[in-house]
Amino acid sequence: MFRRTQPAILFSIIFLSLSGAQAHDGATGVVKERMDLMKTIGKNTKMVAPIAMGSADMDLKAVEDGATAIQNAAIMALEKFPEGSTSEHSEAKANIWTDWDKFSGLMKSLAADAGALAQLAKDDEDFELTDAFSKMANNCKNCHTEFRQKKN
Ligand code: HEC
């Protein structure tokens, strides 16, 4: 019943994004706060993925709640990148602040795409979830590729 758009690629994107989440124990302040928001985004993405991809039972409420949590965390995360806030524990790259329009655009697009996914779930549009999830998850890869330096 689902169109399976490149699930292997999609899952590799998600798990790439999720690996290494435990590597930053020394972070404090705004860096810690944005990492925690990213963890919330990661946790909810992992929860929604198998449902949206059709490999777990349909649960529209779980998709709606998970996508809403991603949307809210993405909106909050944008406030957690004050200029120059790198640290030895952070994986944020300095080009975030030289290319802020692109960085903030990707974060806003994550929030918007997560909001759209939540709305589809709310409206019982279960046939649309796979594409909407893929669109949302592309923001993770696009931003991490350009603006995140894995340190572990
Ligand atoms: C607009 C850019 C951007 C988008 C979009 C984005 N991320 Fe991130 N993410 C980052 C940056 C930058 C870091 C590193 C933050 C730091 O270490 O200071 C990060 C870190 C993470 C971490 C590690 C958190 C930790 O413990 O340090 C996870 C997990 C993560 N992102 C998951 C995701 C997932 C899943 C998505 C998509 C649903 C996503 N991200 C979308 C920029 C983004």
Determine whether 66 is exposed, middle or buried from the number of CB atoms within 10 Å of its CB (0-12, 13-18, 19+). buried
Residue 103 belongs to domain with CATH number: 1.20.120.10
Q: pLDDT tens string for the chain (152 positions)?
A: 455 555 665 666 565 555 554 556 788 999 999 999 999 999 999 999 999 999 999 999 999 999 999 999 999 999 999 998 988 999 999 999 999 999 999 999 999 999 999 999 999 999 999 999 999 999 999 999 999 998 76
The residue type at 72: N
91 lines ligand 1 (CB under 6 A): yes
Q: Is residue 90 a part of any domain in this protein?
A: no
Ligand 1 atom closest to 89 (CA): 17
| pLDDT score recorded for residue 25 | 72
Q: Is 118 a pocket residue for ligand 1 (Cβ < 6 Å)?
A: no
Tokens 């790439």, residue located: 16
Let me know if residue 128 belongs to a domain.
yes
Q: How far is the CA of 69 from the centre of ligand 1 (A)?
A: 14
- The predicted structure's pLDDT at residue 13: 57
- Matching residue, tokens 């690996």: 19
Judge whether 87 lies within some domain.
no
Is 23 part of any domain?
A: no
Ligand 1 contact via 80 beta carbon (within 6 Å):
no
**Is 88 part of a structural domain of the chain?**
no
User: Residue 62 belongs to what domain range?
Assistant: 7-16+28-82+96-147
Measured from the CB, is residue 77 less than 6 Å from ligand 1?
no
Nearest CA to 99 out of 143, 139, 137 is that of: 143
Residue 130 counted as domain residue = yes
Distance 62 CA to ligand 1 centre (A): 22
Where b means 16+ CB within 10 Å and e means fewer, 22-60 reads eebeebeeebbebbebbebbbbbbebbbebbbbeeeebb
- The count of domains in the chain is 1
Is residue 152 situated within a structural domain? no
